[in-house]
Copies of this chain bind each other. A is one copy, B any other.
Amino acid sequence: MSLASLSDDQRFGLSRRVSLPGPLHLDGGATLSPVEIAYETYGTLDRDAGNAILVCHALTGDHHLASPHPRTGKPGWWQRMVGPGKPIDTNRFFVVCANVLGSCMGSSGPASINPVTGRAWGMAFPVITIRDMVRAQALLLDHLGIARLAAVVGGSMGGMQALSWAATYPQRVAAAVVIASTARHTAQNIAFHEVGRQAVMADPNWREGDYYDREAPARGLAVARMAAHITYLSEAGLTEKFGRRLQAREAKSFGFDADFQVESYLRHQGLSFTDRFDANSYLYITRAMDYYDLAEEHGGRLANAFASATRFCLVSFDTDWLYPTAESRAIVQALNAAGAPVSFVELSSPYGHDAFLLDSPELDRIVAGFLGA
């Protein structure tokens, strides 16, 4: 693939997969080579490669950012944010979104083939960190000829990557947009992820991760997703959306079917997730998030993580109890201490953590304004 061919391609959303030789040195001490990365690009890279924006996806996301998913036909997960004339304007920016290391949408992860054995890695895949994901993305940008990003943008785990980008490669990041995110996983965050991992590992089909030629641990993964999904929504949002409303039937069944709409909704969330996500990837990525603590990586002081070379935009949502506003404020304080320019807005939304993916004209204006500045 050449950059020329990229620029010449007129189709919106160019989906590619690249095998980079690496080697990629991981925080855990292991080395990965080659490194497969699935990614999409939108727009045209300038001659000086100065107009690139990297968008980082969340835990269960993928690189199908702004064009329909090739298999499901579903719209890209941030189509409302990325496109011609949209807040991340592809008429102006060359936008890259890569599937994270450890995931299962085309980038190297536990479901990939281990070149040594010729079989899926499973739990032999090395444990990774958020910083390792960022290092893999840096390899991709090297490959694409992008020395410095105009911006890195992400929500939730995408925001962790954006922060880690600024901390790991300050000279390669002009600006960072960090939405509904945090600089570290708290005990409660870890606790919820641990429940999910134990649910997966309790499924006898998990077989220590060696299930790729058998039935997958779908029931355990569904339970994990259900538990996590509760943390993505606010109590008020759940009440507004479902309250105690019953399913179609008129009265309680006095049984264990999904009587309440919220039960049926959660079951659906759990089951549909298992169609699209690999259980081992869920273990690896949640582990990476739990290990994540930017301050810890920088001598215990968050301000040490940041240089003044990058300008920041932070956004939180008032009903987000997964990564509440206080976590964003802690980052803002550290950025102030580091002398980095930062703007911060707490938006009001009934939808909890998930608000960053939903229609929000205020968020659109903030992102557009920050990138336009």
A binding-site residues for B, Cβ under 8 Å: 27-30, 123, 126-127, 184-188, 190-192, 194-195, 197-199, 201-204, 219-220, 222-223, 226-227, 230, 233, 235, 238-239, 241-244, 252, 254-256, 258, 260, 262-263, 266-267, 270, 283, 287, 290-291, 293, 296, 321
Contacts and interface: CB of A to CB of B under 8 A. Distances in A.
B191 A290 contact: no
Contacts of A291: 252
Contact of A260 (B123, B201, B290): B290
Q: Name, among A28, A188, A283, A287, the residue most crowded by chain B CB atoms within 10 Å (CB to CB).
A: A188
A130 to B, nearest CB: 13
A contacts with B: majority SS: helix
B198 A238 contact: no
Contacts of A230: 188, 191-192, 195
Contacts of A239: 186-188
Contacts of A202: 199, 202-203, 219-220, 222-223
A266 B223 contact: no
A194 B126 contact: no
Given A194-B226, A244-B296, A235 B188 contact: yes
Contacts of A244: 184-187, 190, 293, 296
Copy count, this protein chain: 2
Contacts of A199: 199, 202, 223
A288 to B, nearest CB: 10
A136 B54 CA distance: 63
Contacts of A241: 187
Nearest to A255: B127
Contact of A190 (B126, B201, B263): B263
Contacts of A267: 194, 198
B293 A191 contact: no
